[in-house]
Amino acid sequence: MTQVLATTRYYSTARKSDEVLSIQYLRGLAAFSVLATHTLQWPLLAPNMGLLKTGRFGVEIFFVVSGFIITLVAGDGRFDPKDFLLRRIFRIVPAYWIATFLVLALALIMPQQFRNTVPTLEGLFKSLLFIPSIDPKAPLLLLGWTLDYEAFFYVAFAALFFLSSGIRTLVLCLAFAALVGIGQFAQEPGFLQSFYTSASLVGFCAGMLVAQAYRHGLIDWLAARANAALLAVAAMLVTLFYVVPWPHAGVMSLWLHLLMAAAAVSIVLVGLSVERAGLLPRIGLLRYFGDASYSVYLFHLFPIGAIWALARGFVPIDQTLYYLLASFVAIVACTVFSLISYHLIERPFLIRSRAWHRTPVPA
């Protein structure tokens, strides 16, 4: 991500730096945590809650980072909603559509490899338009549910284009809190109502609030006085997140979700505070993974099944040593495949969109 905070009519904000390096690092680390989770979980006969927590935590960090980035790039005052949405479309849609069509092709060619994905025309259109559905299944891409939330956040954010940054954050946080509240008390809600009233919206609100703290200098204050305390709080919250049991892999109570969001926010705050204190080193590999994080997130699933099928044919992966060796090979292979996808698919579209806008598109 090239985080450009240029002072323009529609995209202006207090300029802290041309790039928020800690956010870049966190994007890469979050994407890799999701990749590692899926790779390690794939051959296991039962869900491993530690792995599932790691992957879901990575997604929550993505949501917090998204709220942070979008709040900053929108600027202090009103912005052009058409330009804003076009930039987001250029950023996420091309690679996502290609990944969706790839799932469609594989599901038609090898239906036996897909347990729950039965492609339909309606499901395809809903996937492409970021409309979640349970019957027919949409999105077709397993990880597409997170992008459905992203798209919802972008549209809701753009609808408040006429407000100042602080008021926009306040209104959107109150609106999302109301939706989450409705979801907590709704009796037998339908799938769409459950989806759009999920506590998954909390991460975006948290990211917007962190962005306001960043804009108004609170992060600088923390960097000068409370780095050690922030690190201690983050360690406590992340430990608590892993220690507290989840009753079910796919269901979280509101308080567990709030704990996860608080842990994600604490990680983001530590990164920002360390960076503002001048203690964050420039690590080229982490920055590169940040650049490629979207492709790593979208495309890492495709080689996993084939790699584990090959592993089963050559080694007894039910034995710990062979499982770990095969996992290492699979993680490397999935990473390489994702990075190739970044250079062949995502990056060319980003370059074209930057040329079209004549200014860098925030990632």
Q: What is the predicted pLDDT for the residue at 46? A: 87
Residue with tokens 């209104």: 171
Q: Round to whole Å and give the CA distance between 5 and 13.
A: 6
CB 123 within 8 A of CB 135: no
Selection from 98, 91, 42, 124 nearest residue 294 by Cα: 91
Residue 8 clears pLDDT 80, i.e. is over it: no
Per-residue b/e over 58-82, b at no fewer than 16 CB within 10 Å? bbbbbbbbbbbbbbbbbbbbbbebe
Q: pLDDT per residue over 339-352, tens digit each?
A: 999 999 999 988 87
- Predicted TM-score (pTM) of the model is 0.90
Is residue 138 classed as helix, strand or coil in its secondary structure? Answer: strand
Tokens of 92: 């996420």
Is residue 141 classed as helix, strand or coil in its secondary structure? Answer: coil
Altogether, the residues listed in the chain come to a count of: 363
Q: Which helix (H) or strand (E) holds 145?
A: helix 144-158
Q: pLDDT per residue over 258-315, tens digit each?
A: 999 999 999 999 999 999 999 999 999 999 999 999 999 999 999 998 899 899 989 9
Q: pLDDT per residue over 10-65, tens digit each?
A: 333 333 445 799 999 999 999 999 999 999 999 998 889 999 999 999 999 999 99
